[in-house]
Structure 1
C-alpha cells in the first residue's frame, strides 16, 4: 500500500533509533510492562513514533492489565489502518499508522466495559506523547 509519508527502509533506519525501527518498521513487539508510556496518565495526544501523526487521545486510554498501553478508540477512523496478521500461528488484527504504514501494535475485541469493547494494544516504542497545555 502507498502511504502519504513514504520512505525506504534505509531512510527509516537512519532516522529511528534501533529499538524503534525494530517495532515500527519490522513489526517487532516490546516486552510487556517495559514501555515508558504504559503509566502515562496526563491529558494529551499519542502520536506515531515514526511520522508524528495523531493516533490516540489520552481520553481513550485505559488500564487493560496487558502490559502495553491500551486505548478503546483511535482519534479518528482514518488515523490507523487495520490489517489481518496471521503471524505466530494465530489470526490477529495489526494496527498500522495510516500516514506512514508503521506497525503500532494489535487490536483485540476483549475490552469489556469500554464504549467500543475494543483494545488497541500499542507498543510504547511506536508512540510519542504530547501533553495537553494546561
Structure 2
C-alpha cells in the first residue's frame, strides 16, 4: 500500500510537471502568433490613419471651394471633435461594464487546490 501511494505521488508530480510544460509550449506558440498579428494590426492601423488623414484633407479641400480655407478646416475639426466625444462617451460606458475576471479565476483555482488536497488526505 505504501509503495502504491509513493508511485501515485510520483506519477501525479510528473503529470503536473508535464502538463505545465505543455501549457508553457502552447502559451509560447500562442504568444508568437499574437505578436505577429498585433504587428500586422499595428501596421494596418497606421496605414488607416494616413488614409483617414487624406480623407479629412479632401473634405477640407472640398469645403474650401465655397468657404475660406481656415473656415473649412475649422468646420471639419469641429465635426471630428464631436465624433471623438461621442466615441469617447461610448467607450467609457463599455469600460464601466467590464467585470473583473481575475478574482473569480483565483477563487476557482483555490477551490480546485482545496478539493485535490481534501481528496489526497481522504
Q: TM-score range by the shorter chain?
A: under 0.3
The structure where strand makes up a greater share of residues is: 1
> Which structure has the greater CA radius of gyration?
2
* TM value normalised by structure 1: 0.15
- What is the TM-score when the length of structure 2 is the normalising length? 0.16
